[in-house]
Amino acid sequence: MEALIQQAAKEIACARNVIALTGAGISVESGIPPFRGKGGLWEKIDPMEVAHIDAFMEDPARVWRLLIQDMGHLLASAQPNDAHQGLVALEKQGRLTSIITQNVDGLHQAAGSSRVVEFHGSFATVSCLKCHTKQPIKNCLTGELPPLCDCGGVLRPDCVFFGEMIPMNAFHAAQAAVATCDVMLVVGTSATVQPAAQMPVMAKQNGAVIIEVNLDSTPLSHSISDYMIKGPAGNSMRQLATAANEMRSDGS
Ligand code: NAD
Ligand code: ZN
């Protein structure tokens, strides 16, 4: 493992432009369960069904009760962990230029990362389906469900539900980052939710080196990833950032 970390850190140290794609696994050590994998929400409910826009439009109170409210409470108290901090350290070293995250938890920004593309939107705010006014989600974590706007419209979280489009600006920012990176860190994602899962494939086709950090193998691990660093993201990212910091840009 030590040798693998050193080699991967060398790729980072020698790169011109490192980016990261992150998923729910990076926030597990902050106490937020992922969708898939051990302890994932899928053991209790089927997010593909509950977190689908059709389910929300059909019965918003049910989706607020089964998914949104609990998630909102969890996120309100979650703190960034060593994996988020590792990415901050790589940005401070001048190596990491941007993060594309599938997460809606805001923990990269809370840790201090400055260029974060929220590919699946955010849970920080909600919007009215009728008048589109935004407000903080914390206004909606207690009381009647579904929460309503002053105009009477139903409020929805500003995340991307299954069955919805990726916000255009996030999609374009992600594509631009993928097209210009020469190393992509892929941290804590099962790489099964499209179109996010396509990004490491596109980066690889453009010649980038793919460094995967995950507890388990994913569909990328044997075909796309050049490095598969198995283990909890906090430990791996801390070691990678430290090792890269000790190297000069020629990798020595
Ligand atoms: P996922 O739930 O499909 O997969 C999580 C991945 O993380 C798995 O591959 C698992 O092996 C790995 N993992 C779990 N614990 C880990 C750890 N400690 N260190 C390293 N890896 C670990 O996640 P996904 O690929 O991001 O897709 C799920 C979708 O659900 C995303 O679109 C996201 O928007 C949403 N989601 C977000 C959050 C959040 O914001 N924190 C939480 C749950 C789901
Ligand atoms: Zn309204």
DSSP 133-160: -EEEGGGGSSSSSS-B-TTSPBEEEEEP
Q: Is 50 in the pocket of ligand 1 (CB under 6 A)?
A: no
Give 49-73 pLDDT, tens digit per residue.
899 999 999 999 999 999 999 899 9
Q: Quick one: average pLDDT of 222-240?
A: 98
172 assigned to active site: no
Q: Is 27 in the pocket of ligand 1 (CB under 6 A)?
A: yes
H helices present in the chain, as ranges: 2-14, 47-50, 53-58, 60-63, 69-77, 82-92, 107-111, 168-180, 198-205, 233-245
- At residue 101, the 3 state secondary structure works out as strand
DSSP codes of every residue in 17-64: -EEEEE-GGGGGGGT---SSSTT-GGGTS-HHHHTBHHHHHH-HHHHI
Closest ligand by atom to 126 CA = 2
Give the number of the atom of ligand 1 that is nearest the alpha carbon of residue 189.
25
Is the pLDDT at 84 greater than 90? The verdict is yes
Percent of the chain with pLDDT over 70: 96
Q: What is the pLDDT of residue 42?
A: 65
The residue contributing the CA closest to ligand 1 atom 25 is 189
Using alpha carbons, list the distances in angstroms from residue 219 to 183, 187, 192, 225, 247.
Answer: 19, 13, 8, 9, 31
Give 91-109 pLDDT, tens digit per residue.
999 999 999 999 999 999 9
Can you tell me the distance from the alpha carbon of 20 to that of 32, in angstroms, rounded to the nearest whole number? 20
Closest by CA to 81, choosing from 194, 241, 229, 252, is 241
Closest by CA to 162, choosing from 42, 70, 1, is 42
Q: What is the pLDDT of residue 47?
A: 77
Can you tell me the distance from the alpha carbon of 216 to that of 173, in angstroms, rounded to the nearest whole number? 28
Q: Quick one: average pLDDT of 6-19?
A: 97
* Candidate of 28, 79, 212 to mutate for ligand 1, largest count of ligand atoms within 8 Å of Cβ: 28
> 33 pLDDT band (50/70/90 cuts)?
confident
Q: What is the pLDDT of residue 35?
A: 79
Give 117-136 pLDDT, tens digit per residue.
999 999 999 999 999 999 99
* Ligand 2 mean position, distance from CA 127 (Å): 8
User: If you average pLDDT over every residue of the chain, what do you get?
Assistant: 94
Q: Quick one: average pLDDT of 175-181?
A: 97
Can you tell me the distance from the alpha carbon of 251 to that of 115, in angstroms, rounded to the nearest whole number? 25
> 37 pLDDT band (50/70/90 cuts)?
low
Lowest average pLDDT, out of 118-122, 154-158, 172-176, 247-251, goes to 247-251
Q: Is 190 in the pocket of ligand 1 (CB under 6 A)?
A: yes
> 249 pLDDT band (50/70/90 cuts)?
confident
Is the pLDDT at 38 greater than 90? The verdict is no
Q: What is the pLDDT of residue 217?
A: 97
Can you tell me the distance from the alpha carbon of 223 to that of 180, in angstroms, rounded to the nearest whole number? 21
Residue 162 token pair: 């299954």
Q: What is the pLDDT of residue 39?
A: 63
Q: Quick one: average pLDDT of 172-187?
A: 98
Is the pLDDT at 12 greater than 80? The verdict is yes
Q: What is the pLDDT of residue 46?
A: 82
Can you tell me the distance from the alpha carbon of 200 to that of 186, in angstroms, rounded to the nearest whole number? 7
* Ligand 2 mean position, distance from CA 138 (Å): 17
Lowest average pLDDT, out of 38-47, 63-72, 158-167, 235-244, goes to 38-47
Residue 40 amino acid letter: G
Can you tell me the distance from the alpha carbon of 144 to that of 140, in angstroms, rounded to the nearest whole number? 9
Which one is catalytic: 52, 84, 108, 120? Answer: 120
